[in-house]
Structure 1
């Protein structure tokens, strides 16, 4: 017996998916301010009211756009031997989609409000990212394990959880600098920090 959604529910899911794909494209192209509900609705042939039938607000839609972007990033982490290197790869990719960097940074600031629709998303995302990085760093520090190219620097290096938070903070901060000045290289400074925290033989 099939467990796939059928009927109006399945059509609703498909329509929601179509909106998300289009919204992701519009945001990447037009940025946070340029991606109006009207423009996104026009992309999928809906009225603004029709689009808001699937997403209760622009903020809710944008949170789901960020989740969709994360799906791509998560594949990078899942296929990586080293999540720290995967973070650098994701940051490098982000330079090619400044509209999504802008969306992420602006929503991150707004999400400081516990009532904002993005608040829970950013808490969950941050915890998941830091856990992945910390596990990789812990693996590095175990004798005879870790990546062939890197080992954690000896004491007094910070513990893996603190190092993971430093890497997250650096990546987020570099995105803000990139938005202020698009000539900023987000990868090189983050690579320098990784190398400072990891002693390479």
Structure 2
């Protein structure tokens, strides 16, 4: 006969085992996402294989599909995870000034310069997603729309506060900045040791701010 105390202990043990199982599952899920980044970066979406990704993680393809319903689902989860991490780290608050906005974009550029695999993946998938039938197409359309919207709102407040000149086309500035960042990333991925993406973006942002701020000021000095 199992006593009440034994039942409680068994319950605790069961819950502990459950938590351990979840922890293993979470850890395996993250390993799959990390492996997928490398595969999508090297081969793109269409040429990547779930079987090869699973092999790199040390599981079967069936085991991978236990965590992700399909290759399309895995791709979306990879993109959403990286986007969430970037949003929390660099866009978690409203920017008080345009200079603060561009300083945060510079920090994002520095962060990307330390993540060759992730940045290569982004370039490859963004190019592939020009096809409306690509599973990442809706993600990239939404991503650019949201980036331009967030930047435009920040820059518009800077016009209203008098930091930026009246008549500044904030939407065009935001679109141009996104294009410059992506163009610099492409050149850096092609030549990571020879092309200084961070310095090039710093110079661009400083030059842009000096041309549109009422006081002719650029990026703030880094501490």
| TM-score where L is the length of structure 1 | 0.76
Question: In structure 2, what is the Cα distance between the partners aligned to 1:131 and 1:84?
Answer: 15
More helix by share: 2
Unpaired runs of 5+ residues, structure 1, are: 1-10, 145-150
Where does 1:1-80 land on structure 2 (aligned, <5 Å)? 15=25, 18=27, 20-26=29-35, 32-33=41-42, 37-42=50-55, 44-53=57-66, 54-57=68-71, 59-75=72-88, 76-79=90-93
Separation of aligned partners in 2, 1:29 and 1:119: 20
Q: Distance in 2 between matches of 1:121 and 1:20?
A: 21
Number of positions where the alignment pairs a residue of Structure 1 with one of Structure 2: 182
Query: What are the residue-to-residue correspondences of 1:166-181 with 2, within 5 Å?
Result: 166-181=176-191
5+ residue gaps, structure 2: 1-20, 211-215, 218-223
* Alignment partners' CA distance in 1, 2:174 and 2:183: 14
Alignment of structure 1 residues 78-93 onto 2, 5 Å = 78-79=92-93, 81=95, 82-93=100-111
Q: Deviations over 1:45-100 (max 9, x none)?
A: 5311332352312x542332121111111012114633332222111101111101
TM-score by length of 2: 0.69
Structure 2 contact 106–202 (Cα < 8 Å) conserved: yes
Superposition misfits of 4+ residues, deviation over 6 angstroms: none
Distance 1:184 1:28, change over 3 A: farther
Q: 1:163 aligns with which of 164, 169, 173?
A: 173
User: Residues of 2 paired with 1:186 and 1:37: CA distance?
Assistant: 32
CA RMSD after TM alignment: 3.0
